[in-house]
Amino acid sequence: MLQLDQLKVSLETEAGLVRAIDGIALALKRGETFALVGESGCGKSMTALALMRLLPQGGRVTAGRLQLDGVDVFGLPEAQMRAVRGGRIGLIFQEPATSLNPVMRVGDQIVEAIETHTALRGAAARERAIEWLARVGIPEPARRVDDYPFQMSGGQKQRVMIAMTLAGEPDYLIADEPTTALDVTVQAQILALLKDLQRERGLGILLITHDLGVVAGMAHQVALMYAGQIVETAAAADFFAAPLHPYARMLLQALPSAAKRDAPLAAIAGSVPPLSTEFQGCRFAARCDRVMLQCTVLAPELMTPAQRPANHQVRCLLYSQPSQPSQPTQPASNAFAPNVAADLKSAQAPVESPLGAAPLLEVNGLSVHYPLRRKLFSKAAPAVFKAVDGVSFSLAAGRTLALVGESGCGKSSIGKAVLQLLRGKALLQGQVLLDGQDLAAMQGAQLLQARRSIQIIFQDPFASLNPRMRVQDLLEEGLLALRPDLDARARMSRMGHLLEQVGLGTAALQRLPHEFSGGQRQRIAIARALAVEPRLIVCDEPTSALDVSVQAQILNLLKALQREQGLAYLFITHNIGVVEYLADDVAVMQGGRIVEAGPSETVLRSPEESYTPGLLQAVPRVPHSGT
């Protein structure tokens, strides 16, 4: 058993002492999956780093013990800890782009893990690395084993990260958002692999995720975190059937689906409070729909309510005084609530249907071919990889077209080609027309002006945000280049409004990207794309790094902006729930081609292409709860 007792972690920062984790306890048994869920900034990833003794500079464990089969991990010298990392406890990091060495071939990185933690060496280790690449679904593993990380898509890098971690054959696995960048079919394959390893080797898995569908299909136990504390823990079946904490109920209600398509999602106003706060009372009180006066002064303890199993505990005053009926009041004031309320009101406003309107974007016969490396002195003609092969579609203002398909099928390449970001990097053919004007024929100032109308939200926020620029500079960069009509005061006002809209607040303006969680960085990327008021946004997995509540806020915001401004979205995603809720039309891609396209309801409910039902069947679903 891997047992954590009353862990407390503090971080010394310029803003003061941050209490990232405040007294959490959990037990992970061999052969079981324990899911740790909650919003970005709650302390989930910091818990994973603390368990591996990989805390960032300034971080330290101030209290608590970690017992690994009876051995105190926190008391081990670093030399012995190296054998524990990877050998006894494996960690799949949240962002593969930053955890893979960019100057080492992926095969060498996997071989390094194999030779460090197993008895295999040399050619045998390389063969095992190829086997692991095949098991996690990398096509042509014998060839791709010699690729570098930059030659792989975001989902493929995540699979390499998973292969490298599992290659060390650990007894316990900490999986921090292991399927975030994966499409549903590969996600199903990875989850099935983890279940197989769990059965074969008794692997204990600590699953950190915001995907409640994955939790429902994988977890035996669930713990819900908020602001550095566990606020509810239970067997997975009990958690989904009858959640107790208001936060748990609100998260489940915020999940997108086809049934909620005509109404705004039940987003939770605001965001997780800064963990440098000196808390008084319940930490969720400012966002709770059942807050009481005593919630603002009394800090609740984790307890088991009457008529509940002993392992179902909740941290809420609603259950601590059963003799006194609770009198809910209005939620405490929240800086972000007015913006969210405005978004919801706007999302419900009637709007003229754009059906029949002239297309804003037309793509005709688009092909994207990447040249492959040729051996030195070879006389053979240079080979190409056909990422996109003759794709055509159109998109009208005020409409959303979702591109779905497996990782590596060409979805992101289409998005980048539409914005003319692949010039000089790939062989491009076909037309990309914006308002009837061919973007491929534009140069210089003309192309710059066109880019005011079309922006992109990249899949990987860490790679797309300059790590040396503060948030203010990141947002202002686009405004200076594309909105010269705005003066300094107008720019500052717009940046503050954008950050409030995406749930970060103006305090974020002076911070650097590394000071935010993965989900918070994605919100910055979304704010940057919205800054210049474009007419078309290419959304490349914009909600993949976001937790459920923030995803609901962003989807409500995107819908509201679409209704107000007639925005068009080319929405690249693997989240079918988001497609059901947001998309007007769907195009299913396989092997660089569109194999099925049509209205969202038709494609998702009555698919004609044999490939599409496999995608839909792989979608993890949350069971109906009693919320």
**What would the pLDDT profile of 444-455 be if each residue is shown by its tens digit?**
888 888 888 999
Domain total for the chain? Answer: 3
* 233, part of any domain: no
* 379, part of any domain: no
* 415, part of any domain: yes
pLDDT at 622 over 80: yes
Measured over the CA atoms of residue 50, residue 54, residue 60 and residue 65, the dihedral's sign is positive
432 and 560 belong to one structural domain: yes
Residue 626: per-residue pLDDT: 52
pLDDT at 353 over 60: no
| Burial (Cβ within 10 Å: 0-12, 13-18, ≥19) of residue 278 | exposed
127 and 165 belong to one structural domain: yes
Contacts of 202 (CB under 8 A, 6+ apart): 30, 31, 171
d(CA 475, CA 523): 12
Contacts of 521 (CB under 8 A, 6+ apart): 461, 462, 465, 513, 545
* 88, part of any domain: yes
pLDDT tier at 88, thresholds 50, 70, 90: very high
How many Cβ atoms sit within 10 Å of the Cβ of residue 26?
18
Residue 344: per-residue pLDDT: 37
Extract long-range pairs of 111-116: CB within 8 Å, 24+ residues apart: 113/86, 113/164, 113/165, 113/167, 113/168, 114/167, 114/168, 116/86, 116/87, 116/168
21 and 41 belong to one structural domain: yes
Contact 402, 586 (CB under 8 A): yes
365 and 465 belong to one structural domain: yes
> What ranges make up the beta strands (E) of 219-291?
221-226, 229-235
346 and 363 belong to one structural domain: no
pLDDT tier at 148, thresholds 50, 70, 90: very high
Residue 268: per-residue pLDDT: 84
The pTM is what?
0.76
pLDDT tier at 324, thresholds 50, 70, 90: very low
Per residue, the 3-state secondary structure of 38-107, as one string, reads CCCCCCHHHHHHHHCCCCCCCEEEEEEEEEECCEEHHHCCHHHHHHHECCCEEEECCCHHHHCCCCCCHH
Residue 346: per-residue pLDDT: 36
69 and 13 belong to one structural domain: yes
149 and 270 belong to one structural domain: no
pLDDT tier at 382, thresholds 50, 70, 90: low
Domain boundary among 219, 253, 275: 219
* 603, part of any domain: yes
Q: Phi and psi of 409, rounded to 5°?
A: -85, -5
Residue 338: per-residue pLDDT: 35
* 232, part of any domain: no
pLDDT at 377 over 60: no
Side chain identity, residue 378: S
363 and 330 belong to one structural domain: no
133 and 251 belong to one structural domain: no
* Six token digits for residue 120: 């295999």
Q: Residue holding tokens 């862990």?
A: 7
253 and 209 belong to one structural domain: no
Please state the rounded mean pLDDT for residues 193-221.
Answer: 90
Where residue 192 sits, what CATH number does that domain have?
Answer: 3.40.50.300
Please state the rounded mean pLDDT for residues 276-288.
Answer: 91
pLDDT tier at 375, thresholds 50, 70, 90: low
521 and 403 belong to one structural domain: yes
521 and 480 belong to one structural domain: yes
* 394, part of any domain: yes
For 58-85, b/e burial (b = at least 16 CB within 10 A) is ebebeebebebeeeebbebeeeebeebb
Mean of per-residue pLDDT scores for the chain: 86
Residue 381: per-residue pLDDT: 59
- Note down the domain range covering 483: 359-371+387-617
Residue 619: per-residue pLDDT: 80
What's 424's DSSP letter? T
Nearest of 248, 236, 229 to residue 207 by alpha carbon: 236
pLDDT tier at 403, thresholds 50, 70, 90: very high
* 309, part of any domain: yes
Residue 625: per-residue pLDDT: 57
* Per-position DSSP letters for 584-618, written without gaps between them: SEEEEEETTEEEEEEEHHHHHHS--STHHHHHHHT
Residue 518: per-residue pLDDT: 67
Nearest of 419, 491, 415 to residue 450 by alpha carbon: 419
| Burial (Cβ within 10 Å: 0-12, 13-18, ≥19) of residue 296 | middle
Contact 539, 464 (CB under 8 A): no
